[in-house]
Structure 1
Amino acid sequence: MDTFPQELVDQICTHLGPEDPKFAYDISSKFRNAAEGYAERYKSCHIEITEMTRKSHVHRFSSFRLRYIETVDFRPFFPDLEVDDVYSCRESSIERQEKDRVFSHQIHDLFATLKTIEERAGGRNRGSYRLRIYSPHRWRSHRQCHHREQEHWRTHLLGHESLPTLTSVASLEIRNDGSSYERANEVEAKLDYRILVDMVTRCPNVHELKCHLGVDEWTPSYCEEPARSYVYEYDGPRRDARHDFDKATTVANVPTSLRRLELDFLCRSTMMDADRIHHWTAMPNLVAPTLVDPFSNSLRILSYHLRELTLRAQVDENLFWPSDGSAPVWPNLRNVFIMFHMVSPSGSWYFEGSRGEGRESVGFEVTESSYPPLETTEEDKFLDSDADEGQHSFEDMYYYHFRISPNERILRPFLESFAKAAACMPKLSQAILWCPLRWNVGGGDDEKNENEAFDYFEPPENFYPDYLAWALAYYTPGKAAFATNPGDVNCDARRMWWKVGEWRPDPHLHGLFQQIGRREHGEALREYWDDEEFGHGLVSRNYFDFWTPDE
């Protein structure tokens, strides 16, 4: 058989079924190579690793069948938490430690199982699958008070440095998007953000990293007490998660194979609350005590080797440009889609009212009081008593939205950094930068109704108050994103769409944007300031739903 031409052997192996490669192994080395190669055509297996399936999956896929695996799902779980006292409102330090231990143990077992499969399959049969890990969940007891309906502390991964490397993971996805709420009486854990980095660094051949996180980080604007005291997340753990992410991220440990990031920290279930916050509300400073936002800074480090970046997060100018003034380069980045929240990480707002209302709002300091207590307080007992009597008014929310004009002091540095960075992306094909906005000054009860202060505002034609967007887009010649003038679709000029209402950049900032793609595509540039449907007004978010993940 060794005398058979390789082309003939390859042709014979095209007729093999999914279980036939094992019969070709003993014929000759040529048949083995061809059979293993053709096993790729059967890549359609979606498996879930559980205690019940672990051994069977090791037995079945520790061979050429490793190539069959397309997706591996893993759903960690927490043991049921017993609440003996009707007033057990708070998660104790012992519970926190146990959750970290249980979660870490399950992740280590998962990686060990997948490593065993790889080793038994051998280097000739390296797989290429998506590893999808869900947030742990626990049952919610009917005796638990409203304080326990959300997880206030983050769950951490312990001993990440001892995780084995998985060479077959091509895509890693972490999901914590509220999907478990579809299962009655379950609560999802909040995951520490650095878990993303700690896991992806153990996957040297990964080319895609995805997450859907941020659920329950933004507390709705409830009208009355005690509902307003039941926060979805305290500011302390939220701030710490962003800082811990930065501690785990360095240029040295980011896999050079990474080509695509889709990081969604404002998934749809999260955005329902994050989008409807009261616009006079003071926001926490998530940057201090550092001078620059560590979260934005670490996301930029992750982006250097990418070809595509999709991001939905609360970020600032450090996402695009380092604070030390050094000029970075993104040699391969082609597609950039970024949705940013209207509140900056420092707690200041990127937008203000039409006449400057709320312009000077600044973030408040995160202190020791910004963390949840570790044991039940007297206030907890009082609030739970009122809640049990039906006085919590959880269905009544008060929204007040007036920030639809750029706050130059906060937004301009963000835009300037973006423009400078985009000019350092020689292969950039398309870039979308946008922020969702709302207008609603007529809500609330009679005592809080301040809509008279905005009687001067006359909305333009085709004004969608609850579904607005402020955005800009850049496309290389020959590519079109929005409606253009006839004949412009395939024009040979760079193009930029300004969906920014009546706002206009100052000459210096405008000049920075005009440099994007100039070196690669020449001087020709067409800019569109008027929208076909909305004129000079703010556009509908429908333009940007394509870049908003469904999860």
Structure 2
Amino acid sequence: MASQQIRATPPSKDAMLNSFLEIVRNYNARPPPGRNKIVFPACQLVVEMPLLLNRPSEPLPCRESPAVFEAINAHFSAQVHAFFNALHDLEDMADKPSSDDLELLHQDEWLRPVIQITNQSFDNPEGNDDCVHRCYHTRRLTVQNPESLPLLNRVIQLRIFHDNAYSPDPANMRPVSMRTPLELATRLPHLRELHCPWLWEEFPIAFTSQAMRRIARVWEGPWRDARVEFGRGVRHVMPLLPSSLTKVSLWFWRTNAYGREDQAVQMPDLVGASLSSPSTNEFEGMDPVSLGLRDLGSRLEELDVIALITPDLFHSSGDGLLWPRMVHLKVEFHPCAPNGTWYFSGPRGENPHSTGFAITREEHYPSEGLEYDDETHALWDDEEEEYWGVEGIYEHYTPDMFRTRPIVERINPLLLEFASSLQRQKMPSLQDAELFTWLTWRPSKDRVQEYEGSDEVPPTTDVEQTVMFRWGVRYDAPKGDGKGKVTWQVGDWRPEDKVIAAFKDLVGGEGENIEWKAFEYIEEREQDVEAFI
């Protein structure tokens, strides 16, 4: 049945290899004026999803079956295997050139492969209008049998990203397992850099349509399971990662904030184990992602992270080395902690939910029955005419982003652990470190009225204007006989004395090496376009 619903061309290692060689030959046949012949260009795998057949006579069912997903995942995995095998053959050709072969790689030439994931596509997308359940995916793609991939000795950098990562809507995007990049890294003995500008972590979108909220729901159970898999994955690969790996960027969620979240709803507890699924007990009640990043950082020189974190990321018992090789550390954290609590409240202390809700097997995994889908379809029918209009039901949002004031009992422990981790005996090589978040003011209509004329909120010129600003702290370590510097950007708020003292100890003096910067309000944060090229 699965084979009748998808169309895919099996990937060919030889075809990939020939395409690499053809690029070199075509370029070298007519190099641009003033340019030398190239040896080998950057090699890229564009991972295509199989075409889903949505015929009028055989329409796709509302939900994707496990068999169809397994077929799609097998195709994804086969493409990665073919890519690695093609690169392996290329390395062999370069290492054993004959008189007739093109010189592909100099002895000191290295490869920097890129894996780019594309969207799911349909042969008859209009035929899917009656139900868009198939456009939002929960199951994560994996590379099967990664230990059987060949070792690639010429690869020093690997980048993995999604083709449409800038899109505000995750429709038709298939997430990849958070541990897959780490597993691929174990097959690259001389890898120096690993870059993943999105690890497919999503937050609920505040659609006005209740049907769209249900259809695009970020199911909390699989969300938690994906984070557990990352923690397990780090523990598994740590002994296998190459010692040459020194620079890693892992952005778990996308930085293109569009002000489409509802910060008044209760968030899930992605750390605590539920009664029906106690798997997180292996992390002793701590966040598996924070623990995984802490372990990974112990061997790196540069770490750039965007993640939901807890203070466990920075905690170390005793005075032993935490991250002895770390030179540059950059951590962007989400205003919400992974256990469902928040680091920030509204300007007047509004914090509708002080804890996250427990995840259960019964309520927080995609339903296998028809009742939930039937209810969703009924809602869709009721709302479609009301919301469709010019923009469409997909373009109506009811955001409520109001958390701009630190909750002292939440934020101070995070800041204190960060400061403690920066001590020279724990990071003797450190040059600079940042811990920050981006806060957004895009309140609901009711909240706009409550704050009308108030100077407690960021300045706006329109009730629907989104205002963002960066909140955090930066530490620049001493150079030579210097004292170092701490730069705070927290507005007129101040951390508790213990936190200020911990940072003051890093730079010495009487406060002359501590700067307090004002907020800079913007409507949209600048994106790192190069991360997706």
TM-score (norm 2): 0.78
Structure 1 residue 192 corresponds to structure 2 residue 165? no
Distance 1:172 1:191, change over 3 A: same
1:173 offset after TM fit, Å?
0.8
Map 1:336-351; keep pairs closer than 5 Å.
336-351=329-344
1:196 offset after TM fit, Å?
1.2
Structure 1 residue 515 corresponds to structure 2 residue 500? no
CA deviation string 1:97-122 (max 9, x = no partner): 11221111111111111112223333
Letter in 1 for 2:227: R
Determine the C-alpha separation between the residues in 2 that align with 1:97 and 1:353. Answer: 44
Determine the C-alpha separation between the residues in 2 that align with 1:301 and 1:110. Answer: 29
Determine the C-alpha separation between the residues in 2 that align with 1:87 and 1:437. Answer: 41
Structure 1 residue 203 corresponds to structure 2 residue 174? no
Correspondence for 1:31: none
Residue from 280, 285, 288 that aligns with 2:264: 280
1:135 offset after TM fit, Å?
1.6
Correspondence for 1:137: 119
CA contact (8 A) 2:468 2:525 kept: no
Structure 1 residue 100 corresponds to structure 2 residue 96? no
Letter in 1 for 2:397: M
1:232 offset after TM fit, Å?
4.9
Correspondence for 1:33: none
1:226 offset after TM fit, Å?
2.2
1:221 offset after TM fit, Å?
0.8
What SS class does the counterpart of residue 74 from structure 2 fall into? helix
What SS class does the counterpart of residue 137 from structure 1 fall into? coil
CA deviation string 1:442-494 (max 9, x = no partner): x33xxxx2445446942478679611221111123479xxxxxxxxxxx9331
Distance 1:205 1:91, change over 3 A: same
Correspondence for 1:88: 61
Residue from 292, 313, 332 that aligns with 1:319: 313
Determine the C-alpha separation between the residues in 2 that align with 1:508 and 1:68. Answer: 57
Q: Give me the identity figure in percent.
A: 25
Distance 1:462 1:527, change over 3 A: farther
- Higher deviation after alignment, 457-466 or 243-252: 457-466
Map 1:151-190; keep pairs closer than 5 Å.
151-176=137-162, 178-179=164-165, 187-190=172-175
Distance 1:264 1:349, change over 3 A: same
Determine the C-alpha separation between the residues in 2 that align with 1:109 and 1:472. Answer: 45
1:509 offset after TM fit, Å?
1.8
Determine the C-alpha separation between the residues in 2 that align with 1:459 and 1:549. Answer: 36
What SS class does the counterpart of residue 438 from structure 1 fall into? strand
Determine the C-alpha separation between the residues in 1 that align with 2:528 and 2:209. Answer: 36
CA contact (8 A) 1:348 1:363 kept: yes
CA contact (8 A) 2:119 2:164 kept: no
Distance 1:61 1:75, change over 3 A: same
1:508 offset after TM fit, Å?
1.9
- Higher deviation after alignment, 342-351 or 72-81: 72-81
Distance 1:76 1:326, change over 3 A: farther
Correspondence for 1:378: 374
Letter in 1 for 2:455: E
CA contact (8 A) 2:321 2:427 kept: no
CA contact (8 A) 1:284 1:347 kept: yes
Determine the C-alpha separation between the residues in 2 that align with 1:216 and 1:345. Answer: 12
CA contact (8 A) 2:266 2:357 kept: yes
Determine the C-alpha separation between the residues in 1 that align with 2:475 and 2:529. Answer: 17
1:137 offset after TM fit, Å?
2.9
Correspondence for 1:430: 432
Distance 1:89 1:326, change over 3 A: farther
CA contact (8 A) 1:493 1:524 kept: no
Letter in 2 for 1:57: F
CA contact (8 A) 1:61 1:117 kept: no
Correspondence for 1:13: none
Determine the C-alpha separation between the residues in 2 that align with 1:101 and 1:364. Answer: 35
Quote the RMSD (CA, aligned, Å): 3.6
Structure 1 residue 500 corresponds to structure 2 residue 500? no
Determine the C-alpha separation between the residues in 1 that align with 2:12 and 2:247. Answer: 25
Determine the C-alpha separation between the residues in 1 that align with 2:300 and 2:18. Answer: 37
1:187 offset after TM fit, Å?
2.8
Determine the C-alpha separation between the residues in 2 that align with 1:440 and 1:111. Answer: 45
Determine the C-alpha separation between the residues in 2 that align with 1:547 and 1:52. Answer: 33
1:404 offset after TM fit, Å?
1.1
Structure 2 gaps of 5+ residues are 1-10, 29-36, 97-105, 274-279
1:539 offset after TM fit, Å?
3.5
Distance 1:152 1:405, change over 3 A: same
Letter in 2 for 1:175: F
Determine the C-alpha separation between the residues in 2 that align with 1:257 and 1:357. Answer: 47
CA deviation string 1:210-268 (max 9, x = no partner): 01225571232122332322225322222111111111113322321111112222334
1:130 offset after TM fit, Å?
1.1
Letter in 2 for 1:399: P
1:69 offset after TM fit, Å?
2.8
CA contact (8 A) 1:137 1:189 kept: yes
What SS class does the counterpart of residue 113 from structure 2 fall into? strand
Determine the C-alpha separation between the residues in 1 that align with 2:511 and 2:484. Answer: 5
Letter in 2 for 1:429: Q
Determine the C-alpha separation between the residues in 2 that align with 1:91 and 1:134. Answer: 23
Correspondence for 1:439: 441
Residue from 303, 323, 329 that aligns with 1:330: 323
Structure of higher CA gyration radius: 1
Letter in 2 for 1:340: F
Distance 1:436 1:179, change over 3 A: closer
Correspondence for 2:31: none
Structure 1 gaps of 5+ residues are 1-47, 480-490
CA deviation string 1:307-345 (max 9, x = no partner): 2221112122122225x6674432222212221110111
1:68 offset after TM fit, Å?
2.8
Map 1:523-534; keep pairs closer than 5 Å.
526-531=512-517, 534=518
1:49 offset after TM fit, Å?
9.1
Map 1:4-15; keep pairs closer than 5 Å.
none
CA contact (8 A) 1:494 1:525 kept: no
Letter in 1 for 2:119: H
CA contact (8 A) 2:490 2:516 kept: no
CA contact (8 A) 1:61 1:121 kept: no
Determine the C-alpha separation between the residues in 1 that align with 2:497 and 2:456. Answer: 28
Structure 1 residue 298 corresponds to structure 2 residue 279? no
- Higher deviation after alignment, 305-314 or 84-93: 84-93
1:354 offset after TM fit, Å?
2.8
CA contact (8 A) 1:129 1:169 kept: yes
Number of matched pairs: 472
Determine the C-alpha separation between the residues in 2 that align with 1:314 and 1:172. Answer: 24
Distance 1:68 1:440, change over 3 A: same
Determine the C-alpha separation between the residues in 1 that align with 2:531 and 2:312. Answer: 27
1:526 offset after TM fit, Å?
3.1
